[in-house]
Structure 1
């Protein structure tokens, strides 16, 4: 179920979390008929391949959402993930654009309210180690990137601080 948690299973079925099992079943059956490999046999291989992939996604979503226990578990994981991501993020700031504060061993950045954002060297190192240990690599144009959400010490704004995994010792 970990792979399925990365994508919204309700969206795969074109449904919403408030739908009943009967509504989900109806949506599943409609999509399963549309993308079933037997119905796609006459199409070119790339269309058939994408149809089979879609069918497998729909089937996996249905298997989780059709069972009361697995659906409840999925909904709890989904809600926990939403709560972690619901930050009022104002902007993205590169770690190298922040000012190194030697006294506090932290990177700082001024907020528009007059307060400031601060991320410690320890937080950067911890997140970098965690990423490397878990094999989580977020690719970007510059290579492997990582980041954390940092709250202003005065107002309710937050920024997403990013850095390259190769350059995590920016100072």
Structure 2
């Protein structure tokens, strides 16, 4: 499911100004009045424009955006199966280049927990090759 942020082409931590600029640029490009049906007959452009409008209506309001962000976080943390193990972050190897912590899986793959995910309390890391997942144990300082 495409998020409002993806519809506007901005990251989830985008500022209000960045969201506004992205919205304005997309409106100039996709507004129905700007489309020439004889040259470019596209129902996809109309659908895309409506998605952009919905995204803007939600993200421009501070309270609606806060609620939407909470809903996104809840969706991402829904129960999707068992956790294979709890692993302390001190047992994981830190990769400076990717800013992530890695831990070997018994299948030969790697569990990867990025700093960005851990900062927003997303502490479940899937294996890169199998369906196992671990919970990363850590504390925020």
Q: TM range, normalised to the smaller chain? A: 0.5 to 0.7
Alpha-carbon distance, 1:52 to partner: 1.1
- 2:42 equivalent to 1:67: no
TM value normalised by structure 2:
0.54
CA RMSD, 1 decimal: 3.0
- Pick closer, same or farther for the CA change 1:35–1:85 going to 2, 3 Å: farther
Who is 2:132 aligned against?
157
Q: Distance in 2 between matches of 1:71 and 1:34?
A: 24
Aligned mates of 1:42, 1:73 — CA distance in 2: 37
**1:41 aligned partner:** 36
- Which segments of 5 or more consecutive residues in structure 1 lack a partner in the other structure? 1-5, 91-111, 114-155, 159-171
Give the CA deviation at 1:15.
0.4
**Could you list the runs of 5+ residues in structure 2 that have no partner in the other structure?**
85-105, 108-130, 134-141
1:50 is aligned, of 44, 48, 63, to: 44
Q: How does 1:113-152 map to 2 (within 5 A)?
A: none
Judged with a 3 Å threshold, the aligned counterparts in structure 2 of structure 1 residues 53 and 89 are, in CA distance, closer, same or farther, namely farther
3-state SS of 2:36 partner: coil
**Aligned counterpart, 2:20:** 25
Deviations 1:74-124 (CA, angstroms, capped at 9, x unpaired): 00000011111676899xxxxxxxxxxxxxxxxxxxxx99xxxxxxxxxxx
Structure having the higher strand fraction is: 1
Count of matched residue positions in the alignment of Structure 1 and Structure 2: 89
For the residues of structure 1 that align with 2:20 and 2:80, how far apart are their CA atoms?
30
| Equivalent position SS for 2:34 | coil
CA drift of 1:7 comes to 2.9
